[in-house]
Structure 1
């Protein structure tokens, strides 16, 4: 081997080591570190590793997700989730890895971990029709495992600093507690007879408060908590209730608003009572309702019909799968399937959360939250 080739190999290896060292340093610096808790709106593939009826690891889900070459990853949309887009916007070098994925070990967790699960809810019983799913309580249990792994990687003091100052904890949950629990046809009738909406919502707030407090006790300090969107306006609800295009089902939206009002109070209480913590409130309900109501202004042609689905006027009964009809203009549909927004809608929501004003995110946006105390 000639000398020039030896030098070239040494230089290439040094560059690789430098690049790896830079990446590890960036990870340790917590640039855009993101810990994601929630349901199918932000699940990045955890349900792929569960024996469950709620899965999105079948085509054409993920058809526009470039990192997988258009193959399904377990995301319940055609492309990126809101969590993916927020991470990109905040400078996260890699998507938060699903906790249950085999590669969620080692330094990759320093970029963040995704614990979200399709069908999961605030209440442990929510989503039981899917057999398996991760409730918020189980998701926090899993973060406790990650917390110990970060300590092994960085040492006790640096791990605590990394989690407290340089990590954002996002919580997107609550929709399934209504759609797949309290409002579930047939199965939930007994619950609705025995428990008033106020009592059920009180249980939700109590459970959520306990889990957010647990995260605080595990050193989480920067939180964003989303409220429940206009679940009465999704294609599934419009289809089964045979509504007109510009109508939404009243009861689910009424319950969502009742819950959202209580959530706002909870976030104010936690900001007051947990020293050093900042809880940011994402008004997802009003933001998504704005997109649905004025969809043409945002470049969409429909806010009622699912791009991928079958059944009824709005293709809203049968979930998206290989046998589904699929629209050709995916970026013109607010909804990808009977339940979930398209990537195009997710982009609008995510960008408002990152850089928007207090109309939709308060008391600060996510870019300001990321830089807080740094």
Structure 2
């Protein structure tokens, strides 16, 4: 609020998003999408490349509103955030037998890293200089995953959590490599795994009584 920013970023596709709202940023996210296009297609949401296309449209609107020079400055000084990947595994790889038949876990992870690489290249070419990438959570502790894959034991699916940890390592390695090759680009990796794992394992410490059961039937 002190910075003059909205509490929540407005959705770019919101019909009410226009005028002065363009100046304080937007969300181009599409819930349940992922790094892989097939993940988005599973639930008929926008894949990552279409989200970038919407950002390009936003840039054009910004230029029309404030001019090229100021629009370039706004974009170059903006913080871009990317948080995705959980559904690539939770509703794609571990649900869709075709995906598992075509890829080993590591091959699928590498496919997602390739998609992340293309995303970074695309937003960099559009003027992004500051990018925060949020890693995967311990998605094996999601109530939905416990119900689907570990109901009898009613504990986190450790195999899935290991996949999350190894994928996060790949993200960090990629971020370091890309920073070396893209002048002026700063990438920050934000770890949420450890904090969320601690909440799951020690909910009382954070004011929760239950951390393994979902609120909506899972």
Which TM bucket (shorter chain)?
Answer: over 0.9
> Which residues of 2 match residues 219-368 of structure 1 at below 5 A?
219-240=127-148, 241-244=150-153, 247-307=155-215, 309-310=216-217, 316=218
SS of structure 1 residue aligned to 2:189: strand
In 2: Cα distance, 1:173 partner to 1:112 partner: 19
Query: In structure 2, which of residues 40, 58, 61 is the aligned counterpart of residue 149 of structure 1?
Result: 61
> Residue 28 of structure 1 aligns with which residue?
none
In 2: Cα distance, 1:206 partner to 1:89 partner: 38
Gaps of 5+ in 1: 1-87, 311-315, 317-374
Q: Are 2:73 and 1:161 aligned?
A: yes
1:89-119 residue CA offsets vs partner (Å, 9 max, x unmatched): 8651453211111112222111111111122
SS of structure 2 residue aligned to 1:170: strand
Query: In structure 1, which of residues 137, 160, 169 is the aligned counterpart of residue 49 of structure 2?
Result: 137
1:43-100 residue CA offsets vs partner (Å, 9 max, x unmatched): xxxxxxxxxxxxxxxxxxxxxxxxxxxxxxxxxxxxxxxxxxxxx5865145321111
Which structure shows the higher helix fraction?
A: 2
> Residue 337 of structure 1 aligns with which residue?
none
SS of structure 1 residue aligned to 2:56: helix
CA 1:305 to 1:207, structure 2 compared with 1: closer, same or farther past 3 Å?
Answer: same
In 1: Cα distance, 2:49 partner to 2:40 partner: 14
Paired residues, number = 217
Gaps of 5+ in 2: none
Say whether the 8 Å CA contact 2:41–2:47 is kept in structure 1.
Answer: no
CA 1:303 to 1:244, structure 2 compared with 1: closer, same or farther past 3 Å?
Answer: farther
> Which residues of 2 match residues 95-244 of structure 1 at below 5 A?
95-130=8-43, 132-165=44-77, 167-184=78-95, 188-240=96-148, 241-244=150-153
In 1: Cα distance, 2:129 partner to 2:212 partner: 38
Shift of 1:191: 2.4
Say whether the 8 Å CA contact 1:127–1:180 is kept in structure 2.
Answer: no
Give the TM-score taking structure 1 as reference length.
0.55
Shift of 1:217: 0.8
Which has the larger Rg?
1
In 2: Cα distance, 1:159 partner to 1:203 partner: 33
Shift of 1:244: 4.5
In 2: Cα distance, 1:256 partner to 1:288 partner: 12
Give the TM-score taking structure 2 as reference length.
0.93
Say whether the 8 Å CA contact 2:140–2:157 is kept in structure 1.
Answer: yes
Shift of 1:120: 0.6
In 2: Cα distance, 1:93 partner to 1:118 partner: 20
Q: CA RMSD for the aligned pairs? A: 1.7
Shift of 1:289: 0.8
In 1: Cα distance, 2:21 partner to 2:200 partner: 37
